[in-house]
Amino acid sequence: MTNQPSPASSAGKPSALVRFDAFAAMLGDRRPAVFLDYDGTLTPIVERPDLAILNDSVRAVIRRLAGLCPVAVVSGRDLDDVARHVGIDNLIYAGSHGFDIRGPGLRTQIGEEYLGDLDAAEADLGRRLNGVEGALVERKRFAIAIHTRRVAAERKAPVGDVVREVAAAFPNLRVTGGKEIHELRPNVPWDKGKAVLSLLDTLDLAGPETLPLYLGDDETDEDAFRALAARGEGCGAGIRVMDPPAPSAAAWSLKDPAEAGAFLDRLAGWLVEG
In a domain, 251, yes or no: yes
Q: What is the pLDDT of residues 179-230, one digit of tens each?
A: 889 999 999 999 999 999 999 999 999 999 999 999 999 999 999 999 999 9
Distance CA 258, CA 41 (A): 9
Q: What's the gap between Cα 115 and its chain centre?
A: 22
Predicted confidence at residue 184, as pLDDT, reads: 96
Assess whether 160 and 215 both reside in one domain.
Answer: no
pTM value? 0.90
In a domain, 11, yes or no: no
In a domain, 199, yes or no: yes
In a domain, 2, yes or no: no
Domain-terminating residue out of 186, 216, 245: 186
Among the listed residues 81, 88, 95, 84, the one whose alpha carbon sits nearest the alpha carbon of residue 37: 95
Assess whether 134 and 262 both reside in one domain.
Answer: no
Torsion of CA 213, 28, 62, 94, to 10 degrees: -30
Instruction: Answer for the pair 263, 239: CB distance below 8 angstroms, yes or no.
Output: yes
Domain tally, the chain: 2
Assess whether 43 and 100 both reside in one domain.
Answer: yes
Assess whether 238 and 156 both reside in one domain.
Answer: no
Among the listed residues 32, 52, 4, the one whose alpha carbon sits nearest the alpha carbon of residue 205: 32
Which residue positions in the chain have pLDDT lower than 50? 2-10
Predicted confidence at residue 46, as pLDDT, reads: 85
Assess whether 200 and 172 both reside in one domain.
Answer: no
Instruction: Answer for the pair 95, 140: CB distance below 8 angstroms, yes or no.
Output: yes
Domain-terminating residue out of 162, 186, 210: 186
Assess whether 86 and 102 both reside in one domain.
Answer: yes
Assess whether 79 and 204 both reside in one domain.
Answer: yes
In a domain, 13, yes or no: no
Amino acid at 121: A
Assess whether 207 and 158 both reside in one domain.
Answer: no
Interior CA angle at 4 toward 24 and 69, to 5°?
Answer: 35
Assess whether 124 and 214 both reside in one domain.
Answer: no
Structural domain span for residue 144 = 114-186
Assess whether 169 and 37 both reside in one domain.
Answer: no
Active site residues: 37
Assess whether 25 and 87 both reside in one domain.
Answer: yes
Among the listed residues 205, 263, 254, the one whose alpha carbon sits nearest the alpha carbon of residue 231: 205
Instruction: Answer for the pair 249, 222: CB distance below 8 angstroms, yes or no.
Output: yes
Q: What is the pLDDT of residues 91-109, one digit of tens each?
A: 999 999 999 999 999 999 9
In a domain, 15, yes or no: no
Strands (E), the chain: 31-36, 71-74, 92-95, 100-103, 106-109, 136-140, 143-147, 173-178, 181-186, 210-216, 237-241, 252-254
Predicted confidence at residue 179, as pLDDT, reads: 81
Residue 161: give its domain's CATH number.
Answer: 3.30.70.1020
Domain-terminating residue out of 135, 158, 186: 186
Instruction: Answer for the pair 63, 89: CB distance below 8 angstroms, yes or no.
Output: no
In a domain, 6, yes or no: no
Residue 211: give its domain's CATH number.
Answer: 3.40.50.1000
In a domain, 79, yes or no: yes
Q: What percent of the chain has pLDDT over 90?
A: 87
